[in-house]
Structure 1
Amino acid sequence: MLENPRSPRVRAVAKLAKRSTRQDTGLFLLEGPQAVREALHYRADAIVDLYATPTGWEKHPDVRERAEQTGHEVQFVTEDVLHAMADTVTPQGIIAVARQFPTGIRDVFAAEPRLLAICEEVRDPGNLGTIIRAADAAGADAVILSGRTVDPYNPKVVRSTTGSLFHIPIVVGAELSDVVDRAHAAGLHVIAADINGDDLLQARAQGVLSRPTAWLFGNEARGLDSEALALADQALKLPIYGRAESLNLATAASVCLYESAFSQR
């Protein structure tokens, strides 16, 4: 059992909270039974190390069973060690270290996608995690990250996806103009979500959303700049019926993706 919170091994795991360490090692941190469970089911090959307190391991027999099936041995740690490793204030007894597994952009378009989410300059980890989760739920084919969008392997992003990180292809570090060119070549209609766009309900009535679509979402505070908007085929906005100034980015993205999912089905 690991008992020293200051040991080199424990510190190495804790450093994965930093983007620079994740970039250098190609590893990232999974926290909690939900994330570890999904990783074991969908990307077991990516898991490098598995850590748990004895109590945490006993509380989740399904995780235990899946780890045994995939040949992953658990390293038991004390509560103090788990706290030192984790990014959260109250870790849930199980964490893992995994290899990053970004998808190549060529692979995404080779699969003939019908629904994509493109995130340009999305900086808030909670927003990105929720968009990935919503894209997964709506049956999107991939999420593509361009510009200075937050790292999808950031611990807060990973937690916000609630396991969807392991279900849907994610492209990292793409150039927006290249993504749009590839989308057009693949026959996708590129729609920018923008507060100054046309009414989404009218577009739905006209059958626009039933087409293969790549949704383009911008920065939380600034939205999409003029150059990004110019790349899109059109811009649409969600109607506001109440007094809210606007919708949170992740909420708006979820609605947009589901509108396309409904229309395409």
Structure 2
Amino acid sequence: MDNPRSDRVRSVAALSKRSVRSRTGRFVVEGPQGVREAVRHAPDRVRDVYLTAEAAARYAGDVLGPAREAGLRVHEVTPEVLAAMADAEAPQGLLAVVDTPAPTLEDVLAAGPRLLVLLTNVRDPGNAGTVIRGADAAGADAVLVSDASVDVHAPKVVRSTAGSLFHLPVVTGLDVAATLTALRAAGVRSLAADGTGATALPDADLDGPHCWVMGNEAWGLPAEVRDACDDIVRVPIHGLAESLNLAMAATICLYASAGVLRSGDRPG
């Protein structure tokens, strides 16, 4: 494929717009790591893989071969075509078009989760993607995302997850108050991560199923959300930093939880 102005190229490029993603139920994954994880973990949702000749040679073993073995449609394109399709300023030679999943909160809770994170009013794509990646690394069961947060299938978010978007359920479009009520009914405690918390992270009760509730990058969690949670927990700051980046704080909290929950799995 060598025409960067073709209808197919324009249709893929249009997926950078939220309205088009919503209408088509598809999104774009860019770069070798994201495409590799999509092919490995969600091949049934991968519609098309596009890659340059150079990328085909470089990623023959971990992307191209598995994609063909899975029976996926693979298209070799020129660098100009790939650049026209991609959102990134410096695309890395391959991308995929993937169907948007639709996991539900009910599905997540029915599976008996032990560790969750809820993003409320998180607007920065990099932060949202990094929290998803951190939740994956910490062994969380799912990421929950409020209806007022960034679209997790936007190109910048997808890139910043580095493929973790395909490793665990990410439930989107949630009402925060209703979600906290559903968590409580399912026996999952909610812990608001907030600098005003009376409980320091080392003293927090992290035994049993729980969900970290993370607020907006600028203003944090509103009072009504903090009050609806079972505890308000702060990450201690021992140096002179005024605060922690949202994604940093979320990762610290998730790893603290993972340490406690996993220690309970070890034979006595």
Does the 8 Å contact 2:47/2:73 carry over to 1? Answer: no
TM-score (norm 2): 0.95
User: Which of 254, 257, 264 does residue 254 from structure 2 map onto?
Assistant: 257
Q: How far apart are residue 264 of structure 1 and its match? A: 1.2
Structure 2 segments unaligned to the other structure (5+ residues): 263-268
* Secondary structure at 2:97 match in 1: strand
TM-score (norm 1): 0.96
Deviating 4+ runs (over 4 angstroms) = none
Distance in 1, Cα, partners of 2:231 & 2:21: 37
Does the 8 Å contact 1:199/1:239 carry over to 2? Answer: no
Amino acid at match of 2:245: N
Distance in 1, Cα, partners of 2:128 & 2:254: 14
Partner of 2:55: 56
1:201 to 1:95, Cα distance in 2 relative to 1, 3 A: closer
Partner of 1:236: 233
Structure 1 segments unaligned to the other structure (5+ residues): none
Amino acid at match of 1:221: A
Does the 8 Å contact 1:217/1:253 carry over to 2? Answer: yes
Distance in 2, Cα, partners of 1:88 & 1:170: 23
Amino acid at match of 1:92: Q
Q: How far apart are residue 200 of structure 1 and its match? A: 2.3
* Secondary structure at 2:183 match in 1: helix
Within 5 Å, give how 1:165-244 maps onto structure 2: 165-204=165-204, 208-244=205-241
Distance in 2, Cα, partners of 1:261 & 1:140: 8
* Secondary structure at 1:195 match in 2: coil
Distance in 1, Cα, partners of 2:76 & 2:11: 16
Within 5 Å, give how 1:36-115 maps onto structure 2: 36-61=35-60, 62-115=62-115
Q: How far apart are residue 202 of structure 1 and its match? A: 4.8
* Secondary structure at 2:218 match in 1: coil
RMSD: 1.0
Number of residue pairs aligned between Structure 1 and Structure 2: 261
Distance in 2, Cα, partners of 1:176 & 1:224: 11
- Percent identical pairs in the alignment equals 49
Amino acid at match of 1:126: G
Does the 8 Å contact 2:121/2:148 carry over to 1? Answer: yes
